[in-house]
Amino acid sequence: VYDYVIMDAPPTGRITRFLNVNDEVAGLARIGPIHNQAQAVMRVLKSPQTAVHLVTLLEEMPVQETADGIAELRAADLPV
């Protein structure tokens, strides 16, 4: 068990897809250990104890991309 997990993620435009990949895996593997593992990861990601912190440059385009990414994450029910 970890208090914090820090990871370098793909560009902001792909972050929601990256974090939701386990939902896709769980949908493909409808039963069994792979399904169970994917579901467990999604429970952790969507837990109220989880928070996604985005870091960006203080420039117009990166700030706008980050704002768009936050909106996408919230729409996907991922805690920001």
Which tens digit of pLDDT belongs to each residue from 24-72? Answer: 888 888 889 999 999 998 888 889 888 889 999 999 999 999 999 999 9
Cβ atoms of 42 and 26 within 8 Å: the answer is yes
pLDDT at 69: 92
pLDDT at 22: 85
Does residue 21 form part of some domain? yes
Residue 21, Cβ neighbours under 10 Å: how many? 13
pLDDT at 77: 87
Does residue 7 form part of some domain? no
Pick the more confident residue, 59 or 9. Answer: 59
Does residue 57 form part of some domain? yes
Q: Which domain holds residue 68?
A: 12-75
Running DSSP on this structure, what letter comes out for residue 32?
S
Does residue 24 form part of some domain? yes
Cα–Cα distance between 19 and 22 in angstroms, integer?
7
Does residue 5 form part of some domain? no
Cα–Cα distance between 77 and 80 in angstroms, integer?
9
DSSP of 59-71: SHHHHHHHHHHHH
Does residue 44 form part of some domain? yes
Question: What's the domain count of the chain?
Answer: 1
Q: What is the pTM of this model?
A: 0.73
Does residue 3 form part of some domain? no
Q: What is the mean pLDDT of residues 13-20?
A: 86
Structure tokens at 21: 């990949």
Does residue 40 form part of some domain? yes
